[in-house]
Structure 1
């Protein structure tokens, strides 16, 4: 791609529960960023900064509805659950959580035969139609995607394979035209939020040398990063970004478990109800629980305004009645199927998620090498006053600002657009292709390749090859290192056989600080790559410099033949 061909920056925040996009001309500024606030619905348009990250599939696994249209029928139907939602349609949501490492988060069971990668691709296909409509209205004749630089944000805690998956989904959805096009760049969600918050540092009287933390409280995940304001328009990272699956959906899950307990319905059955009556359950959450959830402050005197928070199951979600065990049905009938939820019950639904958020904030503060001057709360869940109050109660101190900047729900997608605006396009600059705002980063992983060396006494006998060699892990960049984004991490390698015509570079990463072998626990393959070696007459004397750079949120590699000067850039295969 020639950077001169780029006309528009497009940013997508693919969220667990809601997603959105912004766009801006490449020569624009922060104030020029346009946030889409107009979404399709069946026969209507829906205002909002984001659309629900939801799909509905028919029996042939065609994604026939998306976003607001998926809940339109449940709303028209009046009493949720009076019928089996859309009959033959199956609602699919929270599919982003299938990329969560270690199986964390609320992973919903997908319809048989549907992979989460396909769900992401299908959602992107629908989103693409909306994007093209908006871009074509603003810039007629714009060639999509060749003249568009796409910035996609991902959670901080999700490793390199997440970007590989997202890149493939973008290609399959038509958001990019080549798998490894430079038109697609990634940033982490907390980094995008930090870039957004940087615009307000002057408003909070933060100056160069001050540090601030961003706590991005989303629907599924909560991500944190701590940054130093180097200049008015540049940032450095001073701690490893952290995160966890403790967003707003955790509270929703606690509410559904509470309802199940009140009706003596085992969670296994409630989970099945979520699957089979997904639209009705979604509508139940949105209309019955969410008004209380978003208004909850954690103060009992405020909750008194909701003293009549009672749920008529027959009216709100009547399908639940058939799952109540017979021995309890008459008892509930005596209460007219009413469930009254008191203050302590609602507080308990929040506390599990909030305690985890507080631990994450505390760990960031402890890890910071400098005093943190401000904590900015962004994301939809951050607008809850109980979340805000608990963080303030735990971490307020003289001189420290804890604030929710304007438009917290769109902080990531606006910040991602700013990330794209600040990518250097001057080929003569050392920052070429790199975002100029972020000057340094903290590595979250240890990166390296595998090498073949001579086996020696004392090495593990089981690792000795028939040719008396041993395969080891060679560290190139270590976790916890603060790196300037223009730095390269380089080592020199060469053939082990004089007739060798191909030098493989299998790139691995691990969350461990030290590793010895590529099959150590926690070691993962990032990608496979090989450099062709010419002129076998030189035998073993054919050195190649292999370098890694971390100027963007992806790992980029280059190999330089030290004899010829020939340069090869990486094209990683997706890990199995």
Structure 2
């Protein structure tokens, strides 16, 4: 990373919504919270939104056409006019990278009509659009800025993502024209934590001082719960004397974001109307379908757990949904309702569907149980820490259903949130770009190490791993040489270097870099071990000298995992010479 940037620009690439924010260095020095965020016209309405839907539209030549609300509106028009054939519409595709064991550069993703395109292409298009939109705004203010040198770019990623997914995002950003040397990845809950350490936050707990403004003082230990569209990210931080943050529990979480609720709602619609009816609505009248989903999104954000069971939630039903249902089933929605499981809990009145509040609350059950259960597990695994507060950020954190559930399981904790929890990650990413040392240490999620040959011990090592070297030494292959252990706290920039003697295998098959969820793996063949990649070392023409040494260093504690090998014999250095992606 080059010197101090004149401007920091952050892109928050979300599952459901994305946006950007930026601030100039001189503004940051005077007021760190003077951060400019993006503004988007929400749909065909005059509502201004700080984020746009993560949707990408390609034309019939498979060229980028639009992003966000513009993509939604244009494609809806094409569908209504019957002119959408050949156009490609992609939405909510970020989760394809989450916990994907088959993640690779050539991975394909499907659009709304099951047409496939390379995922890397679609991610790149989205990031490029956001980057260029941001640059246009900046150039309207400053025309002497060199985008390749003067801007530090920050791209947000979930903390629970594996290295392959992070590398995928980095490569997409570089393909989008962001210089790799100017790019930082920010872990989403960390960015939110940095932001909330700069702004007053409000209590949302049931404690008597719930309306008080709370500061995160030195020594405060707190949980960061980042609830986005796709994932729930959990980290635990402590505020140090210099204001930096120490991670005291490894990042963890799962797919319990707002889209989990959306999925449950969709299954409810399937039971009520049938999947064929919904798919027909989506393919022939996308605008109506999006209207139905947006209406639900509004209800999802505003529903309160205090609603009594007799009250009902109103959802507007598109005209075409009624018509398609009658065409495909031969009866109206009102006539079909008595024959469903929802005869006593759902009613239709004109273009409105009235749903019993308890059914709506049940849409949240899986997501809420996943979140609260995991929060309790994390707290239980930290008995030696005094975690007094839970910092609630992310768009899904605005749900009263989530907040109420957290209050019930955490009656002795202070649940706090900034005034704009949906922008905490984005604004925190900008702050992180200005102050990259804001995080002092992180907890390693895995045990990292190399594949090595060690002296064979009879009766201890498996015979099948016995290797006799040309010089007569009896060695054991497939051994795991640990560098850092899962759960170990490591300072940011912590580098551990070791030396070993190279072999011909290193120049033929390469040196394997591995990780394990176990804290004490013995062999790289253990079930807990995963190969991250290989580094192939160049062999001297006349072979290795007897005293040849390879110096291997791993850098830990950053948002990305770095490896470097130095070969004194040929004066070669191999940095990031392996890839997490195939």
Judge same fold: TM > 0.5, yes or no.
yes
Is the CA contact 2:11–2:130 (under 8 Å) kept in the aligned structure 1? no
Is the CA contact 1:85–1:278 (under 8 Å) kept in the aligned structure 2? no
For residues 269 and 359 of structure 1, do their structure 2 counterparts lie closer, same or farther at Cα, with a shift above 3 Å needed? Answer: farther
State the alpha-carbon separation in 2 of the partners of residues 456 and 549 from structure 1. 31
What is the match of residue 431 of structure 1? none
Equivalent residue in structure 1 for 2:149, among 146, 149, 162: 146
- How many angstroms does 1:410 deviate by? 0.8
1:203-232 Cα distance to aligned partner (Å, 9 max, x none): 514321111111111111111111011125
State the alpha-carbon separation in 1 of the partners of residues 568 and 32 from structure 2. 47
For residues 34 and 500 of structure 1, do their structure 2 counterparts lie closer, same or farther at Cα, with a shift above 3 Å needed? Answer: closer
What is the match of residue 206 of structure 1? 216
State the alpha-carbon separation in 2 of the partners of residues 85 and 380 from structure 1. 34
- How many angstroms does 1:448 deviate by? 0.9
State the alpha-carbon separation in 2 of the partners of residues 477 and 360 from structure 1. 25
State the alpha-carbon separation in 1 of the partners of residues 238 and 352 from structure 2. 52
The within-5 A match list for 1:106-185 is: 109-110=110-111, 111-176=114-179, 181-185=180-184
State the alpha-carbon separation in 1 of the partners of residues 75 and 277 from structure 2. 21
Q: For structure 1, which segment, 525-534 or 560-569, has the greater mean C-alpha deviation from structure 2 after superposition? A: 560-569
Is 1:97 matched with 2:100? no
Q: For structure 1, which segment, 111-120 or 374-383, has the greater mean C-alpha deviation from structure 2 after superposition? A: 111-120
State the alpha-carbon separation in 1 of the partners of residues 281 and 482 from structure 2. 49
State the alpha-carbon separation in 2 of the partners of residues 183 and 483 from structure 1. 24
What is the match of residue 480 of structure 2? 473
For residues 454 and 395 of structure 1, do their structure 2 counterparts lie closer, same or farther at Cα, with a shift above 3 Å needed? Answer: same
State the alpha-carbon separation in 2 of the partners of residues 393 and 164 from structure 1. 39
1:33-54 Cα distance to aligned partner (Å, 9 max, x none): 4232323789999732111111
Is the CA contact 1:383–1:404 (under 8 Å) kept in the aligned structure 2? no
- How many angstroms does 1:445 deviate by? 1.2
Is the CA contact 1:221–1:247 (under 8 Å) kept in the aligned structure 2? yes
Equivalent residue in structure 2 for 1:225, among 215, 235, 239: 235
Equivalent residue in structure 2 for 1:558, among 564, 567, 573: 564
Is the CA contact 2:567–2:573 (under 8 Å) kept in the aligned structure 1? yes
What is the match of residue 321 of structure 1? 325
Is the CA contact 2:292–2:317 (under 8 Å) kept in the aligned structure 1? no
Is the CA contact 2:506–2:536 (under 8 Å) kept in the aligned structure 1? no
- CA-based RMSD of the aligned residues comes to 3.5
What is the match of residue 266 of structure 2? 256
Aligned to 1:238, the other structure's residue is in SS state strand
Is 1:420 matched with 2:433? yes
Is the CA contact 1:240–1:480 (under 8 Å) kept in the aligned structure 2? yes
Q: For structure 1, which segment, 519-528 or 151-160, has the greater mean C-alpha deviation from structure 2 after superposition? A: 519-528
- How many angstroms does 1:488 deviate by? 1.9
Aligned to 2:214, the other structure's residue is in SS state coil
Normalized against structure 1, the TM-score is what?
Answer: 0.84
What is the match of residue 395 of structure 1? 410
- How many angstroms does 1:358 deviate by? 0.5
State the alpha-carbon separation in 1 of the partners of residues 115 and 74 from structure 2. 24
For residues 43 and 145 of structure 1, do their structure 2 counterparts lie closer, same or farther at Cα, with a shift above 3 Å needed? Answer: farther
The within-5 A match list for 1:69-108 is: 69-73=70-74, 86=84, 88-102=86-100
- How many angstroms does 1:396 deviate by? 2.3
Is 1:284 matched with 2:292? yes
State the alpha-carbon separation in 2 of the partners of residues 356 and 172 from structure 1. 36
For residues 566 and 37 of structure 1, do their structure 2 counterparts lie closer, same or farther at Cα, with a shift above 3 Å needed? Answer: closer
Unaligned 5+ segments in structure 1 are 423-434
State the alpha-carbon separation in 2 of the partners of residues 512 and 275 from structure 1. 47
State the alpha-carbon separation in 1 of the partners of residues 560 and 245 from structure 2. 18
For residues 42 and 338 of structure 1, do their structure 2 counterparts lie closer, same or farther at Cα, with a shift above 3 Å needed? Answer: closer
State the alpha-carbon separation in 2 of the partners of residues 489 and 403 from structure 1. 38
For residues 312 and 88 of structure 1, do their structure 2 counterparts lie closer, same or farther at Cα, with a shift above 3 Å needed? Answer: same
For residues 568 and 523 of structure 1, do their structure 2 counterparts lie closer, same or farther at Cα, with a shift above 3 Å needed? Answer: same
- How many angstroms does 1:328 deviate by? 8.0
Aligned to 2:116, the other structure's residue is in SS state coil
The within-5 A match list for 1:380-391 is: 380-391=395-406
- How many angstroms does 1:563 deviate by? 8.1
- How many angstroms does 1:167 deviate by? 1.4
For residues 40 and 205 of structure 1, do their structure 2 counterparts lie closer, same or farther at Cα, with a shift above 3 Å needed? Answer: closer
Is the CA contact 1:452–1:496 (under 8 Å) kept in the aligned structure 2? no
Q: For structure 1, which segment, 362-371 or 239-248, has the greater mean C-alpha deviation from structure 2 after superposition? A: 362-371
What is the match of residue 360 of structure 1? 374
Equivalent residue in structure 2 for 1:408, among 404, 409, 421: 421
Equivalent residue in structure 1 for 2:501, among 475, 494, 506: 494
